[in-house]
Amino acid sequence: MKVFTQISEIRAERWQNASLSWGLVPTMGYLHQGHLSLVQQARAENDRVGVSIFVNPTQFNDAKDLEGYPRNLERDLELLEIEGVDLVWTPTSEIVYPPLFQTYVEVEQITRLLEGAARPGHFRGVTTVVSKLFNVFQPHRAYFGQKDAQQVVVIKRMVEDLNFNTDIVVGAIQREADGLALSSRNVKLSPEARQQATCLYRALTQAQAAYEQGERDADKLRRMMLDVIGQASLAQEDYVSIAHPETLAELDTVEDRALFSMAVFVDGVRLIDNMLIP
């Protein structure tokens, strides 16, 4: 496994193996089984697998959140070595954003909703850094987790709108045994908050069950999710949403397809989760 910081080193390795298929897994590090499931899928579907580890400052709108983001590069590299990754890019912020940097990629309407409304500028940072990753690696396929449902919708939109020559592959949400979606942020939960953090998954599964029993009124389904969250004393919702899976517009009635999603602060730690219906 080769680990490089410089763009020129990544490019050289990529183009020495130009005729092979490349899969890329972008990450912010502090890897868990959610990331590794994407790596495993990339490993199975490509000749070469690249991973980037970069805590991207432009997608954080809160300096404290950026500073407090968990990091453990040594352990991450050990895990990636075990998975048989070929190439890892661990750039510094100065390499990705040199002093005169001033060019951003912005997807419009769909980034103003949900996570975009709660975290202004977040997706501008995501699409900019992902564009740069695609230009550096020029991967045939790039792997993203359904955990970040809106990110998937936004990246797919960007790839189509800007004609990136990369297929977007989406991996299923990996969860703990009690349903909590794996996240690098879960380490910040106190034992009690960790227990209560299952309220996100419980809210989603209860709404899903109600949908399956015939409930189509989106407001009733939203209220059902809010009730479950309300029962957890340490939990405070940022938003709950029942939206169209592509436009992300809030629905009045769930016809055939919907994205149930939410962001919840559990003891101050912001967690997100979602479920695609059906």
27 near ligand AMP, judged by CB under 6 A? yes
184 near ligand AMP, judged by CB under 6 A? yes
183 near ligand AMP, judged by CB under 6 A? yes
Residue 87 beta carbon to ligand AMP: minimum distance, rounded to whole angstroms: 17
Q: Which residues ranging from 32 to 61 are in contact with ligand AMP (CB under 6 A)?
A: 34-35, 37-38
In the numeric block, which tokens belong to residue 179? 């349903």
132 near ligand AMP, judged by CB under 6 A? no
Residues paired with 38 in a beta bridge: none
Alpha-helical (H) ranges within 119-148 are 122-137
Q: Which of 32, 35, 122, 140 is catalytic?
A: 35
Q: CA separation (Å) from 228 to 19, 82, 185, 210, 235?
A: 52, 39, 21, 13, 10
Closest CB to ligand AMP among residues 199, 218: 199
Q: Rounded to the nearest 5°, which phi and psi values hold at 177?
A: -60, -30
Q: Is 32 a catalytic residue?
A: no
Closest CB to ligand AMP among residues 40, 138: 40
Closest CB to ligand AMP among residues 27, 224: 27
Closest CB to ligand AMP among residues 114, 251: 114
145 near ligand AMP, judged by CB under 6 A? yes
d(C-alpha 177, C-alpha 179), whole Å? 6
131 near ligand AMP, judged by CB under 6 A? no
Residue 85 beta carbon to ligand AMP: minimum distance, rounded to whole angstroms: 14
Residue 197 beta carbon to ligand AMP: minimum distance, rounded to whole angstroms: 13
Residue 188 beta carbon to ligand AMP: minimum distance, rounded to whole angstroms: 13
> What is the C-alpha R_g of the chain?
19
Bridging pattern class, strands 235-243 and 258-266? antiparallel
Closest CB to ligand AMP among residues 23, 221: 23
d(C-alpha 53, C-alpha 217), whole Å? 42
In the numeric block, which tokens belong to residue 84? 């048989």
Half-sphere exposure of 147 (CA within 13 A, CB side): 22
Distance of CA 187 to the CA centre of its chain: 17
Binding residues (CB under 6 A) for ligand AMP: these are: 27-28, 34-35, 37-38, 144-145, 147-148, 171, 173-174, 181-184
Active site residues: 35
